[in-house]
């Protein structure tokens, strides 16, 4: 019987993986490897590297317990070839294998690297999603606009989640309007479940500390789940203690609470420790049992079978060049304070320092604080994309690039978003308590103490008026700008220019 190599990547830690299902446990060899190329093609947050390596080691042990022959290479192995293709070629030479079975990676970069190997490659689709790529492409074909909401409704119909026959539970598909409450005075939730590192994790932490000690972000304390059992416990903790109020405050931001009612299960979903349907059914059960309200459960499920599936479809439909698109021709360099948090803008400082400490910030901090600033300031979207890919524990290109290039930076020209997600300081003030302790004054529209978001907002709209003045969703905003006194306009624009010049 011919031996084949079965590749399992660090974000493919699922026993239901299509490559494993295609393989013969009695004859084939699973190949897993911690390699420098994957750890350094961008300088990932050390928590992200540690999370993936620890989860990989535990998954390899689980496969061995299940009877698989696993060839596992640790990062510090002296024989380590340094790349996934190099490791496959090394194992092929050792075993005489000439064929590799793989599940499609979540990055065009790695897909192309595997296809260039001098080994026979059988690449199976990643079936751990609700929608296949063919299904998404069929849905997208011929549509003038690829809006997530309509795709999401099809996913609800397909899965039966929160459905009452052919109608949505409660009579509405989307309860987002009920999920925009500002920051409360306090949060009755201690945060996501945290796990004490075991011997495997500690060994990985020591390795990462020695090899990646100069990367952006702090490695310790490290508390993430690193196996399926822990990930399921983290999910149960969220469903029990946070889901009931998740919906109300999912967009809120607070100085002294980094997690609010958020689940922090996206890393576990994205590496395969949790299954998306398993997660959604747990949330749906909480609604059916009367434990969590419909607005919270619908909002949570929409993020998983709606948004998560949708952005993956966009990434693979649009092709390898997607992360480098720059529809607005923004060319400014990423400011240094994205790496230090050293800025007088309290919202930016809080989001960046939190990211350094936790490898995490929630979606509004990413979209409406760090992303909003980057878009207003005209920062090169590829630099923004690489920053997000580097700093977040849940960032894999298939999910990160559409969120940043499309949703956050409008660099895809409107494939994902119908208008740019920009705001003045008023939105941040409404949804957070950041502005109360900021050096700048959010209510000042101009002057030395004015919130930079206020002048940058109008500066962005003015310089891109040809792009957006006729956008139906922005016509009122442009009408307000047009009515503004010319002297006031010039003051706003000159102060914004001065601020932008200071970034350089």
Could you please report the per-residue DSSP string of 300-320?
A: HHIIIIIIIHHHHHHHHHH-T
Could you report the per-residue pLDDT of 367-389, keeping only the tens digit for each?
Answer: 999 999 999 999 999 999 999 99
Mean pLDDT within 460-485 = 96
Name all domains of the chain by residue range, CATH numbers in brackets: 5-124 (3.40.50.620), 133-191+242-318 (1.25.40.80), 337-503 (1.10.579.10)
Distance CA 456, CA 196 (A): 44
What pLDDT sits at residue 388?
98
**pLDDT tens sequence across 91-128:** 999 999 999 999 999 999 999 999 999 999 999 999 99
**Can you tell me the distance from the alpha carbon of 263 to that of 243, in angstroms, rounded to the nearest whole number?**
8
Residues in the chain: 504
CB burial readout 119-133, b (16+ within 10 A) else e = eebebbebebbbbeb
- Rounded CA-CA distance 20/334 in Å is 41
CB 151 within 8 A of CB 334: no
Residue bearing tokens 């079975």: 101
Task: Identify the pLDDT of residue 336.
Answer: 97
Distance CA 148, CA 129 (A): 16
Q: For residue 322, what are its two tokens?
A: 């997607």
The yes-or-no verdict on residue 362 having pLDDT over 90 is yes
Query: CA–CA distance from 431 to each of 43, 134, 425 (Å)?
Result: 32, 39, 10
The one-character DSSP state at 69 is E
- Measure the CA–CA gap between 198 and 461, rounded to whole angstroms: 52
Average pLDDT over all residues of the chain: 97
The answer to pTM > 0.85 is yes
**CA nearest neighbour of 29 among 50, 8, 5:** 5
Q: Where would I find the H helices in 8-45?
A: 18-22, 36-40
pLDDT > 70 in the chain, percent: 100
Tell me which H or E stretch contains 425. Answer: helix 425-431
| pLDDT at residue 84 greater than cutoff 90 | yes
- Residue 125's SS3 state is coil
CA distance 7 to 35: 13
Beta strands across the sheet bearing 5-7: 69-73, 29-33, 5-7, 99-103, 120-124
pLDDT over 80 (residue 252)? yes
Dmax (CA) of the chain? 82
pLDDT at residue 183, as a whole number: 87
Residue 188 near residue 245 (C-beta atoms within 8 A) = yes
Give the DSSP H or E segment for 71: strand 69-73
Buried b or exposed e, range 351-365, using 16+ CB within 10 angstroms = bbbbbbebbbbbbbb
Whether pLDDT at 237 is above 90: yes
3-state secondary structure of 31: strand
Residues facing 254 on adjacent strands = 257
Q: Give the separation between CA 450 and CA 392, rounded to whole angstroms.
A: 31
pLDDT of residue 180: 92
Express each pLDDT in 168-215 by its tens digit: 999 999 999 999 999 898 899 999 999 999 999 999 999 999 999 899
Contact between 435 and 183 under an 8 Å Cβ cutoff? The reply is: no
pLDDT of the residue at 136: 98
pLDDT, position 418: 95
pLDDT tens sequence across 36-64: 999 999 999 999 999 999 999 999 999 99
If pLDDT is split at 50, 70 and 90, which confidence band does 2 have? confident
- pLDDT grade, residue 481 (50/70/90)? very high
pLDDT tens track for 279-289: 999 999 999 99
Q: HSE of 291 in the Cβ direction (CA atoms, 13 Å)?
A: 14
Question: What is the pLDDT at residue 140?
Answer: 98
Closest C-alpha to 193, from 253, 288, 267, 249? 267
CA–centroid distance for 465 within its chain = 30
E strand map for 364-416: none
pLDDT in tens, 421-432: 999 999 999 999
pLDDT of residue 185: 87
């Amino acid at each position: 019987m011919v031996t084949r190599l079965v590749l399992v990547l660090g974000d493919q830690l699922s026993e239901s993986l299509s490559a494993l299902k295609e393989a013969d446990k009695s004859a084939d060899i699973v190949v897993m490897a911690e390699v420098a190329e994957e750890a350094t093609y961008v300088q990932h947050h050390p928590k992200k590297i540690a999370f993936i390596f620890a989860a990989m080691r535990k998954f390899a042990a689980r496969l061995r317990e299940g009877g698989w022959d696993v060839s596992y290479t640790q990062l510090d192995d002296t024989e380590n070839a340094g790349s996934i293709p190099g490791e496959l070629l090394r194992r092929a030479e050792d075993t005489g294998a000439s064929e590799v079975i793989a599940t499609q990676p979540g990055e065009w970069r790695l897909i192309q690297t595997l296809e260039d190997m001098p080994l026979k490659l059988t690449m199976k689709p990643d079936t751990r999603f609700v929608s296949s790529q063919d299904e998404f492409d069929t849905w997208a074909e011929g549509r003038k606009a690829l809006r997530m909401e309509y795709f999401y409704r099809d996913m609800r119909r397909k899965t039966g989640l929160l459905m009452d026959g052919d109608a949505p539970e409660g009579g509405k598909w989307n309860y987002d309007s009920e999920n925009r409450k500002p920051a409360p005075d306090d949060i009755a939730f201690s945060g996501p479940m945290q796990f004490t590192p075991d011997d495997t994790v500690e060994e990985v932490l020591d390795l990462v500390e020695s090899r990646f000690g100069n990367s952006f972000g702090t490695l310790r304390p490290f508390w993430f789940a690193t196996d399926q059992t822990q990930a399921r416990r983290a999910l149960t903790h969220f469903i029990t203690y946070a889901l009931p109020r998740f919906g109300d405050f999912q967009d809120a931001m607070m100085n002294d609470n980094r997690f609010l009612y958020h689940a922090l299960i996206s890393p576990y979903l994205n590496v395969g420790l949790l299954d998306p349907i398993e997660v959604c059914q747990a949330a749906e059960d909480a609604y059916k049992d009367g434990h969590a309200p419909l607005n919270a459960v619908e909002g949570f499920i929409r993020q998983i079978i709606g948004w998560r599936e949708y952005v993956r479809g966009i990434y693979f439909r649009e092709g390898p060049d997607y992360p480098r698109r720059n529809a607005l021709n923004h060319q400014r360099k990423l400011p240094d304070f994205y790496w230090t948090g050293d800025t007088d803008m309290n919202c930016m400082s809080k989001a960046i320092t939190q990211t350094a400490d936790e490898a995490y910030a929630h979606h509004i901090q990413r979209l409406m604080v760090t992303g909003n600033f980057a878009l207003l300031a005209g920062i090169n979207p590829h630099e923004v994309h690489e920053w997000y890919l580097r700093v977040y524990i849940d960032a894999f290109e298939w999910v990160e690039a559409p969120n940043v290039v499309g949703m956050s930076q409008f660099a895809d020209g409107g494939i994902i978003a119908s208008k740019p997600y920009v705001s003045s300081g008023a939105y941040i003030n409404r949804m957070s308590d950041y502005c109360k302790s900021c050096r700048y004054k959010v209510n000042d529209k101009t002057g030395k103490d004015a919130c930079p978001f206020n002048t940058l907002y109008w500066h962005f709209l003015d310089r891109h008026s040809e792009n957006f003045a006729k956008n139906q969703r922005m016509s009122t905003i442009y009408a307000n700008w047009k009515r503004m006194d010319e002297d006031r306009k010039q003051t706003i624009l000159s102060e914004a220019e001065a601020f932008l010049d200071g970034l350089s």
